[in-house]
Structure 1
Amino acid sequence: MTQDELTTALDYVNATRKKRMQMANLVMQTPELLSPLFKIAFKGQDPISSKACWILEFVAKQNLDLILPHIDLFTQKISTLNLDSSVRPMAKICEFLTKAYFSKKKNKTKTTLTTAHLELMATTCFDWLIGEHKVATKAYSMTSLLLLGYKLDWIHAELKLVLEQNYANGSAAYKARARMTLEKLKSVKSC
């Protein structure tokens, strides 16, 4: 399947879980589709890019290892996304990656991600956290940043500051997640 054919196939994907899972299954069965799928995902303002991001999220949830060969592109380009419907699934992938990286279990993510990858994700997650994004994106970013702060010592103090500054203006869902994150930060000595 060419990139054009994949783009056409994505036109038939809608927000239903069933349609997204069908396309994700196709991609998982044909991993060579990941390269063109990433290219489509990072097209920017094109609404089809959001659909590619949805599929990447489903693929990552099912088999995170499939994303890893594309980690350089992923970490370098995630900061270029603006559409909320693209940013949210990519923030979720960041959360999957950080949870896997800091997992006690041995996994491929731990050996693949470099400090440079982690720093790029941290910078982007901070941008998402302070930017005009929906609560889900901010919540995934909080989780990623909390974990990344165990490796990158500057993060926890910055995260605490951002959450405290933005708490009063946050929605109820934002406040709930911020409270939970701030509570976890209390046990960290660097804060």
Structure 2
Amino acid sequence: MNPDFQKRLDSVTGYKDSRQKCADEVLENPELFPELVQLCFQTSNKNISKACWVLELVCYEKLEWIQEYLDFFCPNIKNLTDDGALRSISKVCLLLTIFHFKKAAIILSENQLQQITETCFDWLIKDTKVASKCYAIRALHLLGKHYDWVYPELKIILEKDYIHHSAAYKAVGKEILKKINHQK
């Protein structure tokens, strides 16, 4: 582990500029990327959220970098519990599904697709913050084009939970329910 990088990660704040500065450092020094991925899943690490924030921003620019780490990333997403980490990792999962199904720029194995699907459903049924749920809903909509069992399950959850959630959840839920119903 690079102690200098860990110190810089320690100084990251929730402000976009701070997160972006650290992400830019990783983008300029790709040798830091493997360490960043590892730090995202060290649940005892006090900087887990910060590492995930930075990973999300790096993935916006260089999503292909995560391809060789998917065998580590996908089975470990289910172990995250920190809300800040979950929000960023759920966004990375959405990016992965978009780039797998729509752009064919990322190749997810059948096992990786299943791991993302199961974790996204877990985020929906657990007491997860709304942003993570919304990213999970959108990812599951794409995954439902691959797995025929996803839409019926997703529809049940969205219809049942719709009234109990925020305006953001309701907006995404309504949009995805409409898409599911029009695909039949």
TM-score, length-normalised on structure 2?
0.95
- Structure 1 CA distance for aligned equivalents of residues 144 and 178 of structure 2: 14
- Describe the superposition over 1:25-48 as per-residue Cα deviations: whole angstroms up to 9, x where unpaired: 111122221111112111115330
Asked if the contact 1:6/1:37 (under 8 Å) is kept, the reply is no
- Describe the superposition over 1:46-91 as per-residue Cα deviations: whole angstroms up to 9, x where unpaired: 3301100001000011111111111111101010000100000000
Instruction: Give, in angstroms, the shift of residue 132 of structure 1.
Output: 0.9
Aligned 1:55-94 pairs, distance under 5 A: 55-94=54-93
- Structure 1 CA distance for aligned equivalents of residues 111 and 93 of structure 2: 14
Aligned 1:86-165 pairs, distance under 5 A: 86-103=85-102, 105-107=103-105, 109=106, 112-165=107-160
Matched residue SS, 1:167: helix
What amino acid is aligned across from residue 32 of structure 2 in structure 1?
L
RMSD: 1.3
Match of 2:3 in 1: 4
1:182 aligns with 2:177: yes
- Structure 2 CA distance for aligned equivalents of residues 7 and 79 of structure 1: 24
- The size of the alignment, in residue pairs, is 184
In structure 2, stretches of 5+ residues that fail to align are none
Task: Evaluate the alpha carbon distance shift between residue 171 and residue 31 of structure 1 in structure 2; reply closer, same or farther with a 3 A threshold.
Answer: same
TM-score, length-normalised on structure 1?
0.92
Asked if the contact 1:57/1:90 (under 8 Å) is kept, the reply is yes
Asked if the contact 1:27/1:33 (under 8 Å) is kept, the reply is yes
Task: Evaluate the alpha carbon distance shift between residue 106 and residue 138 of structure 1 in structure 2; reply closer, same or farther with a 3 A threshold.
Answer: closer
Q: Which moved more, 1:116-125 or 1:22-31?
A: 22-31
- Flag as ranges the 4+ runs of structure 1 deviating above 2 A: 2-6
- Percent same amino acid at aligned positions? 37
Asked if the contact 1:45/1:83 (under 8 Å) is kept, the reply is no
Matched residue SS, 1:79: helix
In structure 1, stretches of 5+ residues that fail to align are none
- Structure 1 CA distance for aligned equivalents of residues 44 and 31 of structure 2: 24
